[in-house]
Amino acid sequence: MSKRFILFTILLLACLLNANAQTDTSGYDLGRVSVKKDFTQSITIKGSDLERYQFSDLADAVNVWLYGTYSNQSNLLYVIDGNIITDANAYSIYDIDEVTLVQSAAVNVSGAAPGAQVVLVKLKTNRPGKQGIEAAGQASLVNLRNSANIPNQTSTHNIYDQFYLSGYKNFDNVHLGLSADYQHDVSPVLTNGTLTSLNPYNFNRFKFNGYADAKLWRGTTVNFDINYVPQTDSYGYTYGDPTNIATQSEYYHLGAVQHLAGANLALKSKITGGLSNTLSGAYNHYNLFGIDTTYTVFPSTGGVKNFGIEKSRSEINTSNLLIRDNLAYHTMLGIFDVEPSLNFSFRRLYSTLSNSDFYGQSFGSNIPSVNESSSFEGGGEKLYFLTPSLDIHYKDAADIQGGFSDILNSAKNSGSNYTYSRQAPYLTVSADVFKLASLTNMSLRLFGSVSRQSQLFDDGSASLSGITPFVYLVTNSTIGYYSTTTTDAVSYYQQRNPYQQYNSFQAGFEFTFLKNLVLSYNYWDYQSQDQLVVILPYGANQTESVLQYYYDKVTTNRIALNYTVNSPIFTWKTGLNVAEARVQPDEPIFNAYGAYLADGHRYSGGFTNRFTCGSLFAGLDILYQIGERPLTLQSVTIENLSAPPHVNSVSLQSLYFGARLKVSHTQHAELFVNTRNILQNNTSDITDNRRFYGLGFKVDL
């Protein structure tokens, strides 16, 4: 047992013996640690501000509020009720109360990988009144922008749908709720007469969610929620050779079935005095079965058709069990509020992946040849973490919190050549400068946090595939072969320590003046591991492409200005933000790539607006990016190290307007028109080029 844990246990016992007061505090549950809301820099978006969007991936809705194109599905990590275990897209936006980005290095101690933007999702489980029924829906026409202006290419026109129904009942000590959501998303295609879309890439996703909250006895509550998401994906096309010389044609079909199921249970108890405990468990299971088929007809030989057929099957299964227990104590020591806590976390993760491929062909009268191959891999791990922390609070004006996460079991498969640390420490500090000086008409809050983390402390989660075709799920190739050779790339290939520890540091401020104008700034500095493709000699005249890992240092700056206008008949909430990040390889051996990564700038952010005037409402969001300096060496080879294009992109990401209606026997009714990405500059490349034109409604009974 570590010395730091022994010292913390002594301090915890001392606090228990000197308890004399307790106050309720609100915080963000990050998983293994909790931090105070008022002393943690964050960005919060109300779920109601996102309900009139057309999106199937939450990242596409929140990026304009966060870091622009720096916030995407690859780096957003969702924490739902303190659990890093499931995909936020398994929940309907109508079931989400708030979405909060936490800007603190403490998130790394709770299981977030370096560079992850941690987003907390707060679900609606405390609805107003005794009971209620809510129905909502929208339908949109979708087409694809011909961004390259290719002649004779036109877009298919398809339909996006989303429909939602929920009901809830509140008793004196019990709250119950159920909801169902259906979503159909589609990616139109550009056709030119040779490629015919039989079925544009699309999915049908159902979301079933339920919750139950109950007060068992004084000071003890139980919270339970369950969700199940079945999804089907499909895509198909035919291709005919436009030339008169060959008569080659091709038929392709891809399909998959996904299932994501999960449950969460939490028992919260106030034991005695300032002592409280939260015991929680969460389970998630994910399954995907995908199959794709390609049937090709080649030019005939002697009147006999030549053909080939390829089939690939892939199945993924993951199960994820998380159990947490958090013991906290609140007391007063003189003028200081002191809260030591101890968190225990257990995670069991198991996953399997199986692939099978079939290829058959026949030329003329030859006997068809058949090739088959299959593979299977699977594995799991059990991880135990103990995370003590201590929070000291002064007059609602200053706060300091620190602790560490300790992995209790040995690191599996670490090998004798690797060294690693068993602790991931962190420290956060914050103060409201004007409150310390007894000034109340303005606020200046300062934030700072630092942590160390390694891959040993990462938590994983299963995610639904989105509208981007999931070909990567049904192929498992990491090595390719090229016809060129090189001799100077061999020195780049070296083994890396998978348990290297990384530093993460964040600092910033929030300045509130005129009561409704807020200026904020955040600086983020972290280290991480990335990858690039290295070309190695293979055989006499071939080379081999191998993934090489390297360490890099990333610095990010974000500044934002938010303004709110409130009057008896009119409100306007607006915000403008910009972020810029730079990457530098942390080893001299990669200096050849340093100039490439540092070329130019890349500023990105958003401009958000929400309006109400009497019964009318509207929203307007703009996503932008200036420059295209890269942030990674992925998909880059030393033979293709060209400077990135500097393209400025602006997109009218969302525009909607509508009105609240007076309808008998309803508490709330609204009808609106909504659009997405309908305007972009000609060179813009920051969206998927889909344009939406739709109608929507919402009714509360």
Cβ-based neighbours of 644, under 8 Å, separated by 6 or more: 599, 600, 628, 629, 630
Q: What percent of the chain has pLDDT over 70?
A: 79
pTM: 0.87
14 φ, ψ (degrees, to nearest 5): -65, -40
88 φ, ψ (degrees, to nearest 5): -60, -20
Lowest mean pLDDT across 133-142, 172-181, 392-401, 431-440: 431-440
Angle at 207 between CA 203 and CA 212, to 5 degrees: 170
| Stretch 287-295: mean pLDDT | 86
| Stretch 163-189: mean pLDDT | 95
| Stretch 660-674: mean pLDDT | 93
Which of 239, 237, 241, 233 lies closest to 253, judged by CA? 237
Tens digit of each residue's pLDDT (9 = 90 or more) over 446-464:
999 999 988 888 876 656 6
Fold of 3-240+247-268+275-407+424-457+479-700: Maltoporin; Chain A (2.40.170)
Q: What is the pLDDT of residue 632?
A: 72
| Stretch 401-407: mean pLDDT | 94
| Stretch 188-198: mean pLDDT | 74
Domain extent listing, the chain: 3-240+247-268+275-407+424-457+479-700
Q: Which residue has the tokens 């606090």?
A: 15
Which of 504, 531, 546 lies closest to 593, judged by CA? 531
Tens digit of each residue's pLDDT (9 = 90 or more) over 301-333:
566 667 778 888 889 999 999 999 999 999 999
Residue 363's Cβ-side half-sphere holds a number of Cα atoms within 13 Å equal to 1
Q: Is the pLDDT of residue 258 over 70?
A: yes
Across 17-31, 405-419, 493-507, the highest mean pLDDT is recorded for 493-507
Q: What is the pLDDT of residue 462?
A: 58
Higher pLDDT, 20 or 209: 209
* Amino acid occupying residue 154: T
If you average pLDDT over every residue of the chain, what do you get? Answer: 83
The Cα–Cα gap between 204 and 133 comes to 24
| Stretch 48-69: mean pLDDT | 94
Q: Is the pLDDT of residue 1 over 50?
A: no
Cβ-based neighbours of 433, under 8 Å, separated by 6 or more: 444, 445, 446
Lowest mean pLDDT across 248-257, 331-340, 566-575, 650-659: 248-257
Q: Is the pLDDT of residue 127 over 80?
A: yes
Q: What percent of the chain has pLDDT over 90?
A: 49
605 φ, ψ (degrees, to nearest 5): 180, -160
Tens digit of each residue's pLDDT (9 = 90 or more) over 633-644:
666 655 556 666
